[in-house]
């Protein structure tokens, strides 16, 4: 038996927030911050203690419909995704905890469970930017 997909309805407050943000973009021609940005709001079950120290220059762009919290360095063109430390809670239990991928495709992707590898690659990319 095929299970019907879950339909997610935003709360009235979320709907009004998104509509107001859209109106502001249309009126001013400038983007404003994602109203859902902040991993603690978007992912309330994600333990704060499990979040590594995100490098300077990365903005929290987490959104509740994504698989995991996400951050982005606009200057480096790098989104960074951080999954649960507990593999059993991950979207893909066999997947890696950290995903760093280039928006422009210049740097490829890094999939790892080692935070030191992530920090090292960010440092090397920043030095050449």
Per-residue pLDDT reduced to its tens digit, 75-105: 888 899 999 999 999 888 888 999 998 765 5
How many whole angstroms separate alpha carbon 17 and alpha carbon 13?
6
Token pair for 115: 């935070």
Q: Is the pLDDT of residue 118 over 90?
A: yes
**Whether the predicted model's global pTM rises above the 0.75 cut:** no
Per-residue pLDDT reduced to its tens digit, 15-71: 444 444 444 444 444 444 544 458 988 999 999 889 999 998 899 999 888 889 999
Helix (H) or strand (E) holding 14: helix 12-28
In this structure, what are the phi and psi dihedrals at residue 81, rounded to the nearest 5 degrees? -110, 135
Token pair for 68: 């995991």
Q: Which residues contact 97 (CB under 8 A, 6 or more apart)?
A: 82, 83, 84, 85, 90, 112, 113
Token pair for 32: 């404003």
The answer to whether the CB of 77 falls within 8 A of the CB of 106 is: yes
Q: Describe the strand order of the beta sheet including 109-112 as a list of residue ranges.
A: 59-60, 70-73, 78-82, 98-101, 109-112
């Amino acid at each position: 038996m095929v299970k019907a997909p879950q339909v997610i309805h935003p709360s009235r407050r979320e709907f009004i927030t998104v509509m107001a943000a859209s109106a502001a973009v249309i009126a001013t021609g400038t983007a404003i911050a994602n109203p859902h940005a902040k991993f603690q709001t978007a992912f309330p079950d994600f333990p704060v203690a499990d979040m590594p120290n995100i490098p300077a220059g990365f903005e929290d762009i987490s959104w509740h419909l994504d698989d995991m919290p996400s951050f982005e360095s606009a200057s480096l063109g790098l989104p960074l995704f951080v999954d649960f430390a507990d593999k059993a809670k991950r979207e893909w239990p066999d997947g890696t905890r950290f995903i760093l991928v280039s928006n422009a495709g210049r740097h490829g992707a890094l999939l790892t469970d080692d935070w030191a590898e992530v920090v090292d690659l960010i440092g090397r990319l920043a030095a050449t930017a």
